[in-house]
Structure 1
Amino acid sequence: MLRFSANLSMLFSELPLLQRFQAAKQAGFAAVEIQFPYQLSAESIRQALRTHDLKLVLFNVDADDLLQGGEGLAAVPEKQAYFKTAVARARDYAEVLRPDCINVLPGRCLNAGRMTEYRQTLGENLLYAADVFAELGLTTVFEAINSHDMPGFMVDGSAKMLSIWHELNHPKLRLQYDIYHMSRMGEDCMAFLAEHVDKIGHIQFADCPGRGRPGSGGLDFASLFDAIAALPYEGWVGAEYIPGPVTAEGLAWMKTPSASEAAAL
């Protein structure tokens, strides 16, 4: 069964963040996720979730300067103390908000000669985060981001994600699989999901190219959603796309019959 969550860092961005919870509920979502919730207090988020009967399923550990073109936080050897501080802050939020998963963004290595060192640091930090969040019963995830939108990202494809996952072999570490990013890299998302669903902690999507709502690009979301629904996947499927000026006007995909439903009509 498909369970959609609204990524409030992208959807309903025409509203202040605290107002997006109500908008998501009114649009029919039962759950939300936030990339970086730290502009709000954990208590204010908890109150918004309670008021609108929503579940928070995911948020990220702070990524420092990653979104501004920097290397980020999780793989930089000189930033390991800062990473542990960021994990502690995320743990404080998680104790209050109780998400299913917490995401760690691997980041960039801007000096190719240090890639081995950065890769080792990333592994150490992922294990550290997984241990900390496991104390709360939570799953740590990490994701690949396409190298077109984010040049130099260390983990830009499924094979790299799998290699790290197998190497670290932590019982509370899973993959965050983003259909948009992997489609942008030319990968067969349905084939990967079918083969590796047991390793996936969270799924996100946007259409490709453009990272817009389903139906704005070239992906067959009726078939994709059918494929996910048929998998033994119990997690949430996060809508993390760039909406139009009014998010609610672009949610027809939530009400469109899947491929199998349409065939039965």
Structure 2
Amino acid sequence: MTALKSAGVTLSALNFYGGDIPGGERGVASHPDRQEELAANISQMVEIAERTGCRLFNLLYGQLDDCWSAEEQEACAVEAIRSAAAAVAGFGGTVLIEPLTAGLNGRYPLLTATDVLGLLDGPLKDVPNLSLLFDTFHLGSNGVDLVSAAAALGADLAHVQLADTPGRGEPGSGAVDFAAVLDALKSAGYSGVVAAEYKPTVDTASSLGWL
């Protein structure tokens, strides 16, 4: 809280516990043996939300593991997502589900918007406070037409993150047409936060020229 107040900023989004991210893990929601860890973190996140006003929470699905079938892992993830969504619903929180880049995140099964929507419009269709996290780097790297996806999904998105592809640098360092993507989001009715989540190819101040 002290850091937020000193910087004069608010906390818009936060990740739930995702396991050993530096060690290569990408979430634990789909791992039956990690649910106690996740449940403890969900309680902590509620406390953080109450103190900071944060209302968006990213829950990484987790990588496939041969200890369980894909169906068992999906069932586990669905229940974990339900629990997280219920925990934050009371104060208007939304749980975000994020596709990740193939080849960089182990056996992470959610690669496209279609993959995520298969959950949100399928076994989780009765949970209202869920949304796809629209990250231009991950989706673009996996071959998604970003402009078409923004136009089709923009009205239902709760959070957008920008990074170019290839390279995950600042907008303008790769091949993404950000003007077209942002125009499509606006035309579709998106009114949420647009966050910059990139690795600058130059110093940070210089990388902000796209703004």
Give the structure-1-normalised TM-score: 0.75
Structure 2 unmatched runs, 5+: none
Q: How far off is 1:71 after superposition?
A: 5.7
Q: How far off is 1:88 after superposition?
A: 0.8
Among all aligned residue pairs of Structure 1 and Structure 2, give the percentage whose two residues are the same amino acid.
Answer: 29
* 1:127 matched residue in structure 2: 82
Say which of 219, 228, 233 aligns to 2:190: 233
Say which of 160, 169, 183 aligns to 2:140: 183
* 1:148 matched residue in structure 2: 103
- Counterpart check, 1:101 vs 2:42: no
- Does the 8 A contact of 2:18 with 2:25 survive in 1? no
CA deviation profile, 1:77-97 (whole Å, cap 9, x unmatched): 111111101111111111111
Where do 1:45-194 residues align within 5 Å?
46-70=1-25, 72-111=27-66, 114-167=69-122, 168-169=124-125, 170-194=127-151
CA deviation profile, 1:54-79 (whole Å, cap 9, x unmatched): 22110101111244123631110111
Q: Which amino acid aligns with 1:63?
A: G
Give the structure-2-normalised TM-score: 0.93
Q: CA RMSD in A?
A: 1.6
- Does the 8 A contact of 2:147 with 2:181 survive in 1? yes
Between 232-241 and 244-253, the greater mean CA deviation after superposition: 244-253
Larger radius of gyration: 1
Q: Which amino acid aligns with 1:47?
A: T
Q: Helix, strand or coil for the counterpart of 1:73?
A: coil
* 2:173 matched residue in structure 1: 216
Q: How many residues align?
A: 209
* 1:247 matched residue in structure 2: 204
Distance in 2 (CA, whole Å) between partners of 1:227 and 1:158 is 16
Distance in 2 (CA, whole Å) between partners of 1:144 and 1:253 is 25
- Does the 8 A contact of 1:66 with 1:73 survive in 2? no
Q: Helix, strand or coil for the counterpart of 1:56?
A: coil
> Which consecutive segments of 4 or more residues in structure 1 shift more than 3 A?
none
- Does the 8 A contact of 1:74 with 1:80 survive in 2? yes
Instruction: Give the structure, 1 or 2, with the largest relative contact order (CA under 8 Å, sep 6 or more).
Output: 1
- Does the 8 A contact of 1:205 with 1:237 survive in 2? yes
Q: Which amino acid aligns with 2:34?
A: K
- Does the 8 A contact of 1:57 with 1:101 survive in 2? yes
